[in-house]
C-alpha cells in the first residue's frame, strides 16, 4: 500500500504543478483587473462544489468497484469528498494565508449558513447537493472514468479562490509562495481522497484496474 501511495503521489506531480501554474496566472489576472471579493467568492462556490462532486464520484466509485456495501459507500463518499475538499479548498488556504500574516476569514463551506453573493442561496446547499450527486453517480456507475486534469484543475481553482475570496493582500509579491501552497493543497489531498481513503475500507488493498486515465 505504501509503495502504491508513493507511485500515485509521484504520478500526480506534473498534473498538480500544471494546475498550480494556471492558478498563479489566474491570481495575476484577478489582481490586475481588481476583481472584487464578491466575484471571487462566487467563483469559489462554483469550483468548490464541482470539486466535491468529482471527488465524491471517484471516491464512491473506487470503493464500490471493490465490493463495498452501499450504505458505507455513502459515508465514505461524503467524508472522502466533503471532508478532504474542505481541507484542500478552505482549511489549507486559511492556514497558509495566516502563516503569511494575511487577513483570512475562517469558514467551513459545507456548514456555512452565509448567503452566497449573486445567487442568494446559503453556502452549505450547493456543497452538500454536489456531494449527494457525486455519491449517486459513483454508486450507479462505479466504472466511470474521468481525466486527471479535471479534478486537479477544479481543486486548484477552488483553493485559489479560497485565498482571494476570504483573504485580503497584495498578491503579486506572493506568487512564488502561492504556487507552492496551491501545489501542496492539491497534491496530497487528491491522492488521499480518491485512492487511499476508499481503499482503507476495503478488504482488497491492491487496485489492478486503476488506469492513468482515471480522475484523482
Per-residue pLDDT of the chain (216 residues; tens, 9 = 90+): 567 666 666 777 777 888 889 989 998 998 899 888 889 988 999 999 999 998 888 888 878 876 667 888 899 889 888 998 899 899 988 998 888 888 888 989 999 998 887 778 899 999 999 999 999 998 888 766 665 668 778 888 999 998 888 988 888 888 888 898 888 888 777 666 666 665 666 654 444 444 344 444
Which of the 8 DSSP states describes residue 57?
A: H
Backbone phi, then psi, for 145, in 5-degree steps? Answer: -120, 135
Separation between Cα atoms, residue 140 and residue 64, nearest integer Å: 9
Cα Dmax for the chain:
52
Whether 92 contacts 155, CB under 8 Å: no
Q: What is the CA radius of gyration of the chain?
A: 17
- End-to-end CA distance of the chain: give it in Å, rounded: 16
Task: Tell me which residue of 64, 204, 203 sits closest to 136, measured CA to CA.
Answer: 64
Query: All 3 cell numbers of residue 69?
Result: 456495501
Q: State the residue for C-alpha cell 477552488.
A: 158
Task: Tell me which residue of 42, 175, 212, 51 sits closest to 119, measured CA to CA.
Answer: 42
pLDDT (0 to 100) of residue 214: 46
pLDDT (0 to 100) of residue 205: 45
Separation between Cα atoms, residue 81 and residue 54, nearest integer Å: 8
In three-state secondary structure terms, 210 is coil
Amino acid at each position: 500500500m505504501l509503495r502504491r501511495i508513493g507511485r500515485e503521489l509521484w504520478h500526480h506531480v506534473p498534473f498538480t504543478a500544471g494546475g498550480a501554474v494556471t492558478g498563479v496566472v489566474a491570481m495575476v489576472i484577478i489582481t490586475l483587473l481588481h476583481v472584487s471579493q464578491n466575484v471571487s467568492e462566487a467563483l469559489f462556490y462554483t469550483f468548490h462544489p464541482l470539486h466535491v462532486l468529482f471527488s465524491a464520484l471517484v471516491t464512491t466509485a473506487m470503493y464500490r468497484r471493490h465490493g463495498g456495501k452501499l450504505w458505507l459507500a455513502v459515508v465514505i463518499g461524503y467524508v472522502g469528498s466533503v471532508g478532504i475538499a474542505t481541507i484542500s479548498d478552505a482549511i489549507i488556504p486559511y492556514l497558509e494565508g495566516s502563516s503569511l500574516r494575511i487577513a483570512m476569514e475562517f469558514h467551513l463551506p459545507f456548514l456555512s449558513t452565509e448567503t452566497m453573493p449573486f445567487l442568494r442561496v446559503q453556502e452549505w446547499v450547493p456543497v452538500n447537493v454536489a456531494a449527494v450527486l457525486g455519491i449517486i453517480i459513483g454508486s450507479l456507475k462505479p466504472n466511470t472514468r474521468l481525466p486527471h486534469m479535471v479534478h486537479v484543475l477544479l481543486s486548484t481553482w477552488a483553493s485559489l479562490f479560497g485565498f482571494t475570496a476570504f483573504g485580503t493582500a497584495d498578491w503579486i509579491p506572493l506568487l512564488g509562495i502561492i504556487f507552492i501552497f496551491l501545489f501542496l493543497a492539491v497534491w496530497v489531498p487528491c491522492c488521499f481522497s480518491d485512492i487511499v481513503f476508499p481503499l482503507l475500507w476495503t478488504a482488497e488493498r491492491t487496485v489492478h484496474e486503476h488506469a492513468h486515465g482515471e480522475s484523482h
